Chain A
Amino acid sequence: MRTIKNIVMFIGIVCFVFGCKNVLDLKPLDKLDSKTLFSSPEGIKVYMANLYSQLPIEDFAFGRNGFNSANINTIGIAPATQTDEAANSEYSHLVDGGGNYPWWDQGYKLIRDVNLLIETIPTLNLNEKDKSEIAGEAAFIRAYTYFALVKRYGGVPLITNTQKYNGEVESLKVPRSTEKEIWDFVLDECDLAAENLPETRTTDKRRATKWGAYALKSRAALHAASIAKYWSKAPLSGTAVTQKLVGIDAAEADSYYQECIKASEAIMNSGQFSLYKPSPATVAEAIENYRALFENPNAAPEEAIFVKGFTNPGSSGHSTDFWFNPNQTSDGSPHPGRMNPTLALVDLYESYSNPGVSAPVVTTNDGNVNDYNGFDKNKSYKTFNTPYDIFKDKDARLWATAILPGTEWKGKTIIIQGGYIQPDGTAKIETDESIVVNGIKYYTYGAAEWPQYSGFAVQAGNMTRTGFSFKKFLSKNAVPPNLGASTNDWMDFRYAEILLNYAEAVIESNYTADNAQLKAADAINVIRRRAGHKQNIPLSLTNVLRERRVELAFENKRYWDLVRRRDYHVLFNNTVRKALVPLLDLRENPVKYIFVRRNLSREAPLTFPVNFYYVSIPGIGANGLVQNPQY
């Protein structure tokens, strides 16, 4: 018996050992080599999809943990909360060492992947038209990637082929190009892309088109022009500056502005784009139109130029609804209420009765809007019957971007109240108390239990501390309380941004050819009319910049606007952001609401050091690159 077992075992071992042929030469069954992949159109499509997934799009899923980080616990710190647009309900947090997010290794990985594709195009089994489309798409991706690098690091090593290692490490080291050379490369790649890409797509509509390439060029050229123009607001020094690895000569500004104007005009003159629902009959309609545009950009093909899709909850969704619903409509999410629009942003929106200037929220009868010392019982406050009457006349986009105190959202009245003034004049602010006046019980936070209100309490860090909650991009429907559960798409480029880029470039460079001044004034006014404004305002830099901030709020533009215009270090220098605190005034009968403009509670003063305008270059010990200033 034993012998038989041994024999069987022996035969088994012999079979195993000699049954294998060339073990090390076997090809894995779950992977394709490049030859097979590129041999079919489907393979190229798969490769292209991978490139798009790596594209540094600053969408819903972008933040301090990087790109495509929807499933990471960000504690709700979004790019907007690192600017003056909003505060996080719990954390004062500005920037992690500049750059919004350091992005180097992944950038060069993507560049290598796209260079590999570009080198393969001549050998592809496709007709010439398809080949040139692929070439255009590759140029778009490469431009997008270098744009993401140059705006963070300044001039970077320009690598346009797949490097081969021949045993000589030194041959792989490429020194940094100047910042200008990289911007010029980005713009040239955009031109190449625009030349080769189709105007429209019938299938795969989210892939880049000619207009996507022009939109990218419009954004990039404006960025480069602003750096040239405003470099001197925060000049740096050192080797990187003398070698022009960071910074652009002021003399170059106008030519970049003109590149932006031309690229924007190409889109404006294409006849393919317009604003979504450009002439609402009422303000209420304007509010709903603007809100709906972001809830589903696919319903607005006339405005959306380049869209990133979010499809599968959990794997390719994002977490906007998870983090940013007000506390009362969290649908079970444990940490909602994280995005708190600031008073500075709310102030900015125009009023319908006094167009052309921002309309700060006036809370006192003396009209002083610069007093942030908190409630003072000797002051005479304006009284209101509701917590939202004070915003009545303001721009529709405020109502569609933020949830204002006492307004409806998802079938609930969102209660945001910071306290009350007792009949004897004692103020109870940001403390959990209640009082009975004339037989009615009043609560400091507007309701008895914390699930019933959304503001000011410290409860779990889920309450707004600015007095405003967030609305833009949120779904009106219930979303499961999981990370990555939101699936509305992201408009990376939309027509309104192109109009605003155009207007800014025209006014900044004082460009007058082709009636540009008139067209630029019209550009900001069509956007305003879509928001329910009837009166036009003149073209001025203040008007253009205000319009840009309110129209593109929370679209992750503000960070880079502050960087490129070198406004960050001025705006954030020991800066405490501001809140508007609604209080119930029990001295009045019937009770009224009053409002206090105040420094944000639990806020550390925030500062943006000037070296953050460029990110530190990683790995200079090994790659031998020149470091950016002050690192």
Chain B
Amino acid sequence: MKIRKIYLAVMIITTVLLASCELDNYDGPNAELSGSIIDIGTKELVQQDIIRGTTLKIIEHGYDPVSPQYLRATNNGTYADKMLFANTYTIQPDQRNFVQIPEQVIKITGKTVLDFLVVPYIRVKDLSIVKNGTKVKATFKLQQNVPNNVTKIGLYASSEPIVGEPIRTVATELDVNTVVDENQVFVLEIDLAANSSLLKPGKPYFFRVGALINLPEAKFNYAAAVKLDI
């Protein structure tokens, strides 16, 4: 009898205590921000790296001090953050492969879309990537939109479609270190035979051409990756 009473008392106290707690007294993120980084000249997406690539800095208003958040662009030049709180934010690209654009203050509610129209440092033009015997050959021109030197160009290969300078199993790079002429044709080759342990014959691989401008912290500019069976 006595034990049952104690048991009952504990039950009642526990119920009262727990019922008074809410799981969390804040609502979860309720807004989304997404968009694209678009070349103002060609209206195409500006290709990016998925790691160590372009980042967008967003600063939420109403807090001081506040740590900025950094969003990363995906390979094809789009970005999205689906876990934001509806509020006013200051947004500006941070690490990037295009000419800096001014800060924007925008109100993010629901599904907000914000595209950036930018001038990429370099455009890769007239690209062709073909397999030629035991070699993969990339031919292209470069159009640079800032006066700095082009540091280097590269042809990158990987089994993943997210191939780029940081994600590659084989690369052929060329140090340029000059300003390039728009009509100059660049040729880069990957020797498949010499890399047979890394690029296995009979399998598909992704090849992508990139170019880096000589500016502090500049990121690579790319053309879209090309899939080839080798």
| A and B pair up | yes
**Given contact pairs A373-B195, A609-B52, A629 touches B217 in the complex (Cβ within 8 A):** yes
Write the A543-559 contact mask toward B (1 if CB under 8 angstroms, else 0). 00000000000000000
User: Is there a chain A Cβ closer than 8 Å to B168's Cβ?
Assistant: yes
User: Is there a chain A Cβ closer than 8 Å to B147's Cβ?
Assistant: no
A235 nearest CB neighbor, chain B only: B216
Residues of B within 8 Å of A241, CB to CB, are: 216
B198 nearest CB neighbor, chain A only: A373
Selected from B67, B166, B167, B194, the residue in CB contact (under 8 A) with A371 is B194
Write the B164-206 contact mask toward A (1 if CB under 8 angstroms, else 0). 0111100100000000000000000000001111100000000
Residues of B within 8 Å of A609, CB to CB, are: 52
Is A237 a contact partner of B217 (Cβ separation < 8 A)? Answer: yes
**Beta-carbon contacts under 8 Å, A576-631 to B:** 599, 607, 609-610, 621, 629-630
A residues contacting the other copy or chain, number (CB 8 A): 17
B167 nearest CB neighbor, chain A only: A574
Interface size class of B (residues with CB under 8 A): 10 to 19
User: Is there a chain A Cβ closer than 8 Å to B95's Cβ?
Assistant: yes
Residues of A within 8 Å of B41, CB to CB, are: none
Once A and B bind, how many residue pairs between them come within 8 Å at the CB atom? 31
Write the A509-544 contact mask toward B (1 if CB under 8 angstroms, else 0). 000000000000000000000000000000000000
Is B217 a contact partner of A236 (Cβ separation < 8 A)? Answer: yes
User: Is there a chain A Cβ closer than 8 Å to B65's Cβ?
Assistant: yes
Is B65 a contact partner of A607 (Cβ separation < 8 A)? Answer: no
Residues of B within 8 Å of A630, CB to CB, are: 95, 217
Is A235 a contact partner of B217 (Cβ separation < 8 A)? Answer: yes
A368 nearest CB neighbor, chain B only: B194
A373 nearest CB neighbor, chain B only: B197
Residues of A within 8 Å of B197, CB to CB, are: 372-374, 599
Is B216 a contact partner of A373 (Cβ separation < 8 A)? Answer: no
A237 vs B52: C-alpha distance in the bound complex, in angstroms? 15
Selected from A372, A574, A621, the residue in CB contact (under 8 A) with B65 is A621
The CB with the most chain B CB atoms within 10 A, among A373, A599, A610, is that of A373
A237 vs B166: C-alpha distance in the bound complex, in angstroms? 20
A27 vs B106: C-alpha distance in the bound complex, in angstroms? 63
A621 nearest CB neighbor, chain B only: B65
Write the A363-401 contact mask toward B (1 if CB under 8 angstroms, else 0). 000000001111000000000000000000000000000
15 A–B pairs (Cβ distance < 8 Å), ordered by A: A235-B217, A236-B216, A237-B216, A237-B217, A371-B194, A372-B197, A373-B197, A373-B198, A374-B197, A573-B165, A574-B167, A607-B166, A621-B65, A621-B67, A630-B217
A-to-B contact residues, CB < 8 Å = 235-237, 241, 371-374, 573-574, 599, 607, 609-610, 621, 629-630
Identify 10 new A-B residue pairs, CB closer than 8 A, beyond the known A373-B196, A609-B52.
A237-B216, A237-B217, A372-B197, A373-B194, A373-B195, A574-B166, A599-B197, A621-B65, A629-B217, A630-B95
